[in-house]
């Protein structure tokens, strides 16, 4: 039972980290596009 709980926690953490990194990269790309448009 403990192993399953730990695995679920690890999977959840990994999923959250990937989502945050994807959104961060997306936000940075949008900011870059805004900068290029201003120039």
pLDDT score recorded for residue 11 = 98
Higher model confidence: residue 6 or residue 34?
6
H helix or E strand, kind and range, residue 21: helix 2-38
How far is 8 from 12, CA to CA, in rounded Å?
6
Q: What is the mean pLDDT of residues 15-35?
A: 93
How far is 14 from 30, CA to CA, in rounded Å?
24
- Rg from Cα positions in the chain: 17
How far is 38 from 32, CA to CA, in rounded Å?
10
Q: What is the mean pLDDT of residues 16-30?
A: 96
How far is 4 from 12, CA to CA, in rounded Å?
12
Query: pTM score, two decimals?
Result: 0.63
């Amino acid at each position: 039972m403990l192993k399953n709980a730990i695995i679920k926690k690890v999977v959840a953490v990994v999923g959250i980290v990937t989502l945050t990194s994807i959104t961060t990269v997306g936000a940075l790309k949008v900011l870059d596009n805004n900068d290029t448009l201003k120039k």
